[in-house]
Amino acid sequence: MSAQDQIRETIEKNDVVLYMKGTKMMPQCGFSSRVAGVLNYMGVDFLDVNVLADPDVRQGIKDFSDWPTIPQLYVKGEFVGGCDIVTEMTLSGELDALFDQKGVTYDKDAANKIREANA
């Protein structure tokens, strides 16, 4: 199976997928750590894919999304964005709205606490 096929299958079979450097419990870069931290704090059940473990996936995800950086967040098969976009969406409430629209379970109180702490 090609990296592209593997990526497509992973995104289709999991509601929330974060392609990142490292894992959700041990991120290997600050940007991946920030996005994983937000998702973990909000109680989102997500699959973490460590791109450092497979060079084909590391390049493949960039080609798949036509997005040059990692991390990359996917929700119900839809590419959401990288660290800056996820951060902005979290602070504006857009990420909550997306999770609500897509039927993804998360802790609304935790999301509000993130916004309060960054106000």
* Residues of each annotated binding site: 29
Closest CA to 35 of 73, 67, 69: 73
Q: Report the binding-site residues for [2Fe-2S] cluster.
A: 29
Secondary structure class of 67 (helix, strand, coil): coil
Cis-peptide, bond into residue 68, ω within 30° of zero: no
Which residue do the tokens 């894992």 mark? 23
